[in-house]
Structure 1
Amino acid sequence: MLCHLHAENSPDMGTVYIQENGQLYRLNQASGGASNHVSKPKPSRLFSKGFSVELCMNKENDNGRTDHFIFTYTKEGNLRYSAKSLFSLVLSYIVDNIHHVDSLIGFPEQIGEKLFYAADARQKFTDPRTGLRALQKFTDAYGSSVLQILCLKNRYLVISEKLEEIKSFRDLTCLDLSCCKLGDDHELLEHITKETLSSLIQLVLKDNCLSDAGLRKMTAPVRVMKKGLENLSILDLSCNPGITDKGVGFLLSFKKLNYLDLSATGIEDMMAAIQRIQTQIGLVYSEVPLKEFDHNCKTEGWAEHTVLQWEHAILEAIKPQRNLKSRTAAQRFYGKRARIKEPCESLLGEGHRKTCENLQFYKGRAQVCRFPLLKKKTDDKEELQSKRMPSLEPKKQRLKAKHLGLLMEDLDLLNSY
C-alpha cells in the first residue's frame, strides 16, 4: 500500500488518515512520513459566499417552485432552509385556484378565515375577472363573518365600480350609505329590500337625494309581504329634502324601530308628523341630538382590508386625471376661466331648515304618547321654540291640554294594550 502511495505515477489521493491503536495518524504525501498532529478540518459550506436566492412566487406553469421552502439565516450568517408544512402547501394551492372551487360550505370557520386572508394577501378579490366569483364562495359559506358592518360613507366611486361585489355580502347588520347621492332608482337600494339583507339592524341613508317615491319602494316588501327590512332598529333619513309628510306614512310599517332621524327633510307639518310617529310606532321626539346618529361606524369583518384595497385601486386609477396641468394652462391661454364650485344650497328655505334641524326620535322606556315639546318652558326656551316650530292651531292646543291632563296611571293602562 505504501509503495503504491509513494509511486511517481500514483494518482493524487489527497491527505490520507490511518487509525492505529486508537490514535489517528496523517500520512504526509509530500515527505511520506506520518505525523501525530491532526489539524482540525475546515468547516464545509453548503453554499458559497456569493450565493444568492431569488424566491419565485406565484409563477404560472412553474414546475420547479421554490416558494415551498422557507429561507432563513443563522446567527453565524449561514443560510438555512426548511420545507413548509403540508397544510401551508395545500392552503397556497387552494388560494391560487380559489376561482375553481365549487363551494366552501361545510369547511370549518377557522380554515375559511385562513383561506380568506391568504387570498386577500394575494389580491384575489381585486382581480376583475375572478374576484367576484372568489368572494361569493366565502360569502355564501360564512355570511356575516366575512363582513358584518359595511361603511361606504362618501364612497360613491366604490359603489359604482364594485356594485356586484357589495351586493354579494350577506347577513350585514349595519350599512352606512350616507352622502352617496344614490337617488330613488339606484340598484343598491333595491337590493337592500331583499331577504339577503333582512338581518340589517342599522341603515344610514343620510344625504342620498331620496324622496317619497324612494321610501315607497324601500318599504314595499315590509308593508305588503312582511319581509325585507323587518328587523330594522336604527334608520337615518336626514338631509333628504324630497321626503315630505307623505313619506312619513311609509315609515310606519317599521314596527321594530328604536331610533329614527328625519332632520333636514321636507316635512312641513312637524307637529302632525311627531304625533303620528309617537302614536303608531311609539317613538318619542328627542329635544337633543342622539348619540346613535353620530355614525362613527367602521367596516368590520374579514373583508375590511379588501374594501380598502378596492378604494385604493380606484383612487389610483383616477389619480392622473386630477393633475391635468396642461389642460389648465391651455384654458388660461385661451382666456377661459376655471369653473368656481359654488356651495350647493339646500332646497329648503332658511327658516324651514331651522324648523327641521333636529327631528330625531327614540323609543322611551314607558313608550308614553306625549309631546315633550309641549311642556311649559322658560321665556328663553319659548323664544327658541317659536323659531323652530310653527304656531299651533287651536285644535292642536286642545289636543295638548287633553294629553297633559291624563294621569300616569291612565297612560300606563293605555300602554298595556
Structure 2
Amino acid sequence: MCSYRRSYEECGPVYVREKGELRRVSEALNTEDGPLPSRVKPLRLFQKGFSVQLCVSDRAQTTSPRKDHFIFTYTKEGSLRYSPKSLLNIALKFIAENVQHIDSLIGFPEQMAERLFTAAEEKHTFSDPKTGVKALQTFSEAYGNLVLNSLCLRSRFLLVSEKLEEIKAFSGLRSLDLSCCKLGDDHELLEHLTSEALSSLVHLSLGDNCLSDSGLRKLTAPVRVMKRGLGNLQRLDLSCNPMICAHGIGYLSCFSKLQSLDLSATGVKLNDSLIRMLKDKVGLIRADHPLEDFSHLNCKTEGWAEQVIHQWDSLTSETTKPKTNLQPRTNALRFYGKERCLREVYKTPSLQLSKEESKSREKLQFHKPHQTLTAGNTDSVSHIHKKRVLVSPQEGSSEPMPAPKRQCAAQLSPEDWDILNSY
C-alpha cells in the first residue's frame, strides 16, 4: 500500500470506469486506508504562462485565395472539373503583386522577365502611382529597350503631365515622338532628354512644342561641352516651332551622326548661308521632295510596356472627357453684346494645320546624301584631303599648335558655362 501511495504522489490522481460510471481511485483510498496526505498537488494540464487566443476569420477570405490556385472548367457531360495551376504561375503571380520590393532583375532570364512583366501589367501595378515608378525602373535597368524601344506621345500633353515620372523611368529608348505636346524651353522632360538614360535615342520628334533658340542651346549643351547626351541622334524633327531661327540651327552642328532634319514652318529662312552652313558643319543637303522619315506614319509604341502606355492613355482620356456642348447660350450673348465677338473667335482657324494646308506649305527638310564609289565621290574625297593638307601646319613651321582645351574654352559662351555648372 505504501508503494501505491508513492506512485499516486508521483503520478497524480487516477480515474477508473466501473459499471459505466467514472470513479476516482482516491475515493477508495480515502474510505479504506484513510485520506491521502495534503501535500499532494493536483496535476496541471498546461504549464504556467500558457495562453490561448481565439481568432475568428471570415470564411470567404479564407477560401478566395485557394480558388485562385485552381482552374475551373466544364466537361462534355456538364460536370464541373478543376485542375491546379502550375507552381510557376502561382509564383509569378505572387512576385507580380510585390514587384515593387524587388531590388534588381539583372541576370534574370528575359523570357521569364517578360512573363513577369505581363503578370504585373494584368494587376495594373504600373498604373499605381505608389508602385509604378519603382517597378518600371527595376525592369528598365535590367532590360533597357526590351521594355520600351519606341514611344509615341504625339498630341498627348495630358499624358505627359500626368505620367511624367513614369515616362522618365524608361531607359534605352531609340525612338521618341513628342510632337504637339507644348513643352516649351523650360520643361522638365526636355532636360531629361539630355541625360544618360536617353543617350541611345536615334529618332527624336519635337515638332510644335513652342521651342526657341534657347531650348536648342540647352538641348545640345551636354553634347557640345561634355560629349554626352544625344550624341547618337540621326533624325530630328523641329517643324512648327516659329521661334527657332538660324542662330539656333548653328547649335545642331554637334550632332555628327545626324542623317535627316526637318525645319518646316520655323523661323528659319532658306538662303545660301543656311544651305552652306548645314552642308559644311553637318553634311546635310536640302531634299527635293518630302522625306518619308517625317511622315509620322510609322510612329507607334513598341516593347513590353506597349499595353501599359495604352492603359495610361485610356485613364487620362476618361478623366478629361470634353463636354458635349461648349457653345454658350445665344440669348445671354445678345443681352451683353458679346455674340459678334465670340462668333469671330469661333470662325478663326485652329492652331493645328489641316492636311491640305500642311501639304501646300513649303517643306524645308534636309538629309545626308548617300555616298557611292563613283568618280565624283573620289574627286570630292581628294578635294577634302587637299583641304585637310592646307589646314594642317606646314613642315618646318615654328608656330606650335594650340591646345584643344583652349579652343574648346574659347568657343564656350557664358550661357554654356551656366548650363554646364547646372549639371
- Which of the two has higher C-alpha Rg? 2
Name the CA distance, whole Å, in 1 between partners of 2:61 and 2:148. Answer: 31
Shift of the 86–240 alpha-carbon distance from structure 1 to 2, 3 Å rule, reads same
Name the CA distance, whole Å, in 1 between partners of 2:107 and 2:148. Answer: 19
Indicate the residue corresponding to 1:162 in structure 2.
163
TM score, norm. by length of structure 1: 0.69
Name the CA distance, whole Å, in 1 between partners of 2:78 and 2:277. Answer: 78
Shift of the 215–105 alpha-carbon distance from structure 1 to 2, 3 Å rule, reads same
Query: Does residue 207 of the first structure (1) align with residue 208 of the second (2)?
Result: yes
Cα distance, 1:214 vs structure 2: 0.4
Name the CA distance, whole Å, in 1 between partners of 2:377 and 2:95. Answer: 66
Shift of the 63–290 alpha-carbon distance from structure 1 to 2, 3 Å rule, reads closer
Name the CA distance, whole Å, in 1 between partners of 2:62 and 2:213. Answer: 57
Cα distance, 1:355 vs structure 2: 12
Query: What amino acid is aligned across from residue 342 of structure 1 in structure 2?
Result: T
Shift of the 91–243 alpha-carbon distance from structure 1 to 2, 3 Å rule, reads same
Name the CA distance, whole Å, in 2 between partners of 1:204 and 1:345. Answer: 18
Asked if the contact 1:367–1:415 (Cα under 8 Å) also holds between the matched residues in 2, the reply is no
Query: Does residue 358 of the first structure (1) align with residue 366 of the second (2)?
Result: no
Indicate the residue corresponding to 1:291 in structure 2.
292
Asked if the contact 1:207–1:237 (Cα under 8 Å) also holds between the matched residues in 2, the reply is yes
Query: Does residue 84 of the first structure (1) align with residue 85 of the second (2)?
Result: yes
Name the CA distance, whole Å, in 2 between partners of 1:140 and 1:345. Answer: 39
Cα distance, 1:208 vs structure 2: 0.9
Seq. identity, %: 52
Name the CA distance, whole Å, in 1 between partners of 2:190 and 2:135. Answer: 24
Cα distance, 1:142 vs structure 2: 1.2
Cα distance, 1:341 vs structure 2: 6.5
Query: What amino acid is aligned across from residue 114 of structure 1 in structure 2?
Result: R
Cα distance, 1:183 vs structure 2: 0.9
Secondary structure at the aligned position of 1:340 is classed as helix
Shift of the 361–63 alpha-carbon distance from structure 1 to 2, 3 Å rule, reads same
Indicate the residue corresponding to 2:186 in structure 1.
185
Indicate the residue corresponding to 2:147 in structure 1.
146
Shift of the 99–414 alpha-carbon distance from structure 1 to 2, 3 Å rule, reads same
Query: What amino acid is aligned across from residue 223 of structure 1 in structure 2?
Result: R
Shift of the 245–108 alpha-carbon distance from structure 1 to 2, 3 Å rule, reads same
Name the CA distance, whole Å, in 2 between partners of 1:60 and 1:233. Answer: 56
User: How do 1:313-352 residues align onto structure 2 when only pairs under 5 Å count?
Assistant: 313-319=315-321, 322-323=323-324, 331-332=329-330, 334-335=332-333, 337=339, 340=346, 342-344=348-350
Residue range with higher mean Cα deviation, 195-204 or 104-113? 104-113
Cα distance, 1:357 vs structure 2: 2.2
Unpaired runs of 5+ in structure 1?
Answer: 1-58, 347-352, 369-406
Secondary structure at the aligned position of 1:133 is classed as helix
Cα distance, 1:284 vs structure 2: 1.6
Query: What amino acid is aligned across from residue 367 of structure 2 in structure 1?
Result: Y
TM score, norm. by length of structure 2: 0.68
User: How do 1:44-55 residues align onto structure 2 when only pairs under 5 Å count?
Assistant: none
Asked if the contact 1:284–1:367 (Cα under 8 Å) also holds between the matched residues in 2, the reply is no
Asked if the contact 1:146–1:302 (Cα under 8 Å) also holds between the matched residues in 2, the reply is yes
Shift of the 328–294 alpha-carbon distance from structure 1 to 2, 3 Å rule, reads closer
Name the CA distance, whole Å, in 2 between partners of 1:222 and 1:251. Answer: 10
Indicate the residue corresponding to 1:390 in structure 2.
none
Cα distance, 1:305 vs structure 2: 0.6
Q: Alpha-carbon deviations, 1:250-275, whole Å to 9, x = none? A: 01111111111111111135321111
Query: What amino acid is aligned across from residue 68 of structure 1 in structure 2?
Result: H
Query: Does residue 413 of the first structure (1) align with residue 382 of the second (2)?
Result: yes
Asked if the contact 2:371–2:377 (Cα under 8 Å) also holds between the matched residues in 1, the reply is no
Q: Alpha-carbon deviations, 1:260-310, whole Å to 9, x = none? A: 111111113532111111112111211111111112221000000100100
Name the CA distance, whole Å, in 2 between partners of 1:60 and 1:218. Answer: 55
Shift of the 274–101 alpha-carbon distance from structure 1 to 2, 3 Å rule, reads same
Secondary structure at the aligned position of 2:277 is classed as helix
Name the CA distance, whole Å, in 1 between partners of 2:62 and 2:183. Answer: 45
Indicate the residue corresponding to 2:309 in structure 1.
307
Name the CA distance, whole Å, in 1 between partners of 2:380 and 2:85. Answer: 71
Residue range with higher mean Cα deviation, 269-278 or 242-251? 269-278
Query: Does residue 247 of the first structure (1) align with residue 241 of the second (2)?
Result: no
Of Structure 1 and Structure 2, the greater helix share is in: 2
Query: What amino acid is aligned across from residue 381 of structure 2 in structure 1?
Result: D
Secondary structure at the aligned position of 1:175 is classed as strand
Query: What amino acid is aligned across from residue 90 of structure 1 in structure 2?
Result: A
Query: What amino acid is aligned across from residue 162 of structure 1 in structure 2?
Result: K
Shift of the 408–106 alpha-carbon distance from structure 1 to 2, 3 Å rule, reads closer
Cα distance, 1:366 vs structure 2: 3.5
Asked if the contact 1:116–1:302 (Cα under 8 Å) also holds between the matched residues in 2, the reply is yes
Cα distance, 1:412 vs structure 2: 3.3
Asked if the contact 1:235–1:259 (Cα under 8 Å) also holds between the matched residues in 2, the reply is yes
Shift of the 282–61 alpha-carbon distance from structure 1 to 2, 3 Å rule, reads farther
Cα distance, 1:332 vs structure 2: 4.5
Query: Does residue 218 of the first structure (1) align with residue 224 of the second (2)?
Result: no
Query: What amino acid is aligned across from residue 360 of structure 1 in structure 2?
Result: Q
Cα distance, 1:148 vs structure 2: 0.4
Asked if the contact 1:267–1:356 (Cα under 8 Å) also holds between the matched residues in 2, the reply is no
Cα distance, 1:224 vs structure 2: 0.5
Name the CA distance, whole Å, in 1 between partners of 2:226 and 2:310. Answer: 37
Asked if the contact 1:158–1:311 (Cα under 8 Å) also holds between the matched residues in 2, the reply is yes
Name the CA distance, whole Å, in 1 between partners of 2:371 and 2:327. Answer: 63
Indicate the residue corresponding to 1:52 in structure 2.
none
Indicate the residue corresponding to 2:106 in structure 1.
105
Name the CA distance, whole Å, in 1 between partners of 2:351 and 2:274. Answer: 25
Asked if the contact 1:240–1:265 (Cα under 8 Å) also holds between the matched residues in 2, the reply is yes
CA RMSD of aligned residues (A): 2.7
Query: What amino acid is aligned across from residue 69 of structure 1 in structure 2?
Result: F
Cα distance, 1:63 vs structure 2: 7.0
Query: What amino acid is aligned across from residue 128 of structure 2 in structure 1?
Result: D
Indicate the residue corresponding to 1:125 in structure 2.
126
Name the CA distance, whole Å, in 1 between partners of 2:287 and 2:61. Answer: 62
Name the CA distance, whole Å, in 2 between partners of 1:170 and 1:121. Answer: 22
